[in-house]
Amino acid sequence: MSRGDIGFVGLGIMGKPMVRNLLKADYNVTVFDIVAESVEEVVSDGAHPASSASEVASKNSVIITMVPDSPQSEAAIMGPGGVLEGATEGSTVIDMSSIAPGSSQKIASACEAAGVDFLDAPVSGGETGAIEGTLAVMVGGKKEVFEKHHDMMSAMSGSIVLCGDYGAGNITKLANQIIVAGNIAALGEALVLAKKSGIDPQVVFDAIKGGLAGSTVMNTKGPMMIDGNFDPGFRIVLHQKDLHNAILTGKEAGVPLMVTSMVQQILGSLINDGKGNSDHSAIANFMEDMAGVTISGK
């Protein structure tokens, strides 16, 4: 017996496994993406296809959007053929995209004007977390709407926290992305220093991972740097987008973000080098190029 009907718009590297976890939890899921092949993939897993975001919303009272950035969220929800064209009063839109907090607030206002509930609920955990259903979800919105949909979001996540009003989820996500970016950059520098000094980076990793420097970032990204494996779990181009949104939000709030700005420039340089679709652990490539060594020795 189905636990309920869910609409899902956006079937990228994160969206597809999130839909699969909803299906595994016995939800009926109707999906749309501008890439037809992505729709076909999850339809073969049991989802139902739709021809637009509006059609998804017309068939479901709960609609999740999972797209790359603010313009795509605004278009998918408020634009022609978007969710609000098909949604009815009393529906709920949950935008799980990582976008600018101001954009979330703009979407929330449009939803409220249409009598539609809204949550901004960006996630952290990358492709691995999406596949395993262990994503951390950071939510902005009204408490009663959050509580109503908590169990459904649990099918895709390991933790869900209500962080505040509209936009608070995405402010929290930006804080997360600042910390992750700084950790990866520091880890890349440290392992390049070890390599250039003649010490095996694997030995350094094993020696320090259980101490104060140890972190989920180190445990996840260190082995990728050591193996020279930069297949994307979270792409550089997306992390650069997040840091750009963080810097804009910092400017609005009067908060200088010096470390964030530096790492964003590193990411921009890597994008110019054609590495935008590499995993963000490839931040280490920037340090490798400057030092004239590779951590992996490849």
State how far the Cα of 62 lies from the Cα of 282, in Å rounded to an integer: 37
The pLDDT mean for the chain works out to: 97
Whether 68 maps to a domain, the answer reads: yes
| The two structure tokens encoding residue 88 | 């009815």
The pLDDT of residue 2 is 74
HSE, CB side, 13 Å, CA atoms: give it for residue 112.
11
58 and 200 co-located in one domain:
no
59 and 194 co-located in one domain:
no
Whether 25 maps to a domain, the answer reads: yes
Q: Is-catalytic flag, 173? A: yes
Whether 138 maps to a domain, the answer reads: yes
189 and 273 co-located in one domain:
yes
Q: Domain boundary at 102, 136, 165, which?
A: 165
Whether 248 maps to a domain, the answer reads: yes
40 and 133 co-located in one domain:
yes
Active-site option among 142, 143, 148, 173: 173
Query: Three-state SS for 94?
Result: strand
Name beta bridge partners: 277.
none
Residue whose pair of structure tokens reads 């550089």 in the numeric block: 236
| Structural domains of the chain, count | 2
Q: Is the pLDDT of residue 43 over 90?
A: yes
Query: Three-state SS for 95?
Result: strand
| The two structure tokens encoding residue 209 | 């991972």
Q: How many residues does the chain have?
A: 298
The pLDDT of residue 93 is 98
Give the rounded distance of the alpha carbon of 282 from its chain centre: 17
Whether 298 maps to a domain, the answer reads: no
15 and 139 co-located in one domain:
yes
Q: Domain boundary at 165, 184, 216, which?
A: 165
178 and 156 co-located in one domain:
no
Q: Domain boundary at 122, 142, 165, which?
A: 165
| The two structure tokens encoding residue 202 | 């694997």
Q: Is the pLDDT of residue 1 over 70?
A: no
143 and 184 co-located in one domain:
no
Whether 296 maps to a domain, the answer reads: no
80 and 62 co-located in one domain:
yes
The pLDDT of residue 126 is 87
Q: Within 10 Å of residue 296's Cβ, how many Cβ atoms?
A: 18
Q: Is the pLDDT of residue 135 over 70?
A: yes
238 and 193 co-located in one domain:
yes
Q: Within 10 Å of residue 263's Cβ, how many Cβ atoms?
A: 26
Per-residue pLDDT tens digits for 248-272: 999 999 999 999 999 999 999 999 9
Whether 207 maps to a domain, the answer reads: yes
Q: Is the pLDDT of residue 176 over 80?
A: yes
Q: What is the mean pLDDT of residues 226-239?
A: 94
150 and 183 co-located in one domain:
no
- On whether the CB atoms of residues 283 and 224 are closer than 8 A, the answer is no
Whether 297 maps to a domain, the answer reads: no
Per-residue pLDDT tens digits for 56-112: 999 999 999 999 999 999 999 999 999 999 999 999 999 999 999 999 999 999 999
State how far the Cα of 75 lies from the Cα of 67, in Å rounded to an integer: 10
17 and 50 co-located in one domain:
yes
Q: Is the pLDDT of residue 19 over 80?
A: yes
* pLDDT confidence bin for 297, thresholds 50/70/90: confident
146 and 228 co-located in one domain:
no
Which CATH number belongs to the domain containing residue 182 in this structure? 1.10.1040.10
Q: What is the mean pLDDT of residues 220-231?
A: 97
State which residues form the domain around 122: 4-165
Which CATH number belongs to the domain containing residue 11 in this structure? 3.40.50.720
